Amino acid sequence: MRRWLMKSEPSVYSIEDLRRDGRSMWEGCRNYLVRNRLRDEVRPGDTAFFHHSNANPSGIAGIMEVVSEAYPDPTQFDPESPYFDPKSSPDRPRWLAVDVQFVRAFARVVPLSELKAHPLLGGMEVCRKGQRLSVLPVTEEEWEAVLGLPGI
């Protein structure tokens, strides 16, 4: 089992949306490194921190579990979707999605500033300057350190 941090803007899809839905498709990833991670590394049973990006504050809002293998992201074929890719086709899809399931919401969002200031968490990939990927690996030490933070 691996640990991840997966980002979504809460105005698009939040931890509360996932709580309401119970299970959802994690779609719209349009980066080749992220696509390759979804294809080659992310597996059912993996857990992920749900990170609210472009929020006030940006930070970790809860936990979800990956519950499917990667599959072609259907939004890439939908001209009405903001994730439409005219260069992608059903016989040669470019982008992948996975299904995720709600595990728990934290009592508070753990802000990125708190992660950066923590001695065990400042090196997390999400804390690195310019890091914009939507699916990032998390070490077991980082996972446990986040879960040990007060008030979550």
Name the superfamily (CATH) of residues 3-147.
Answer: ph1033 like domains (3.10.590.10)
- The answer, yes or no, to whether residue 58 has pLDDT greater than 90, is yes
What is the DSSP code string of 31-96? -HHHHHHHHHT--TT-EEEEEE-SSTT-EEEEEEEE-S--EE-GGGG-TTSTT--TT-BTTB---E
86, pLDDT greater than 90: yes
State pLDDT tens for residues 100-116.
999 999 999 999 999 99
Residue 43: per-residue pLDDT: 98
Domain range summary for the chain, segments of one domain joined by +? 3-147
Task: Report the 10 Å Cβ neighbour count for 113.
Answer: 12
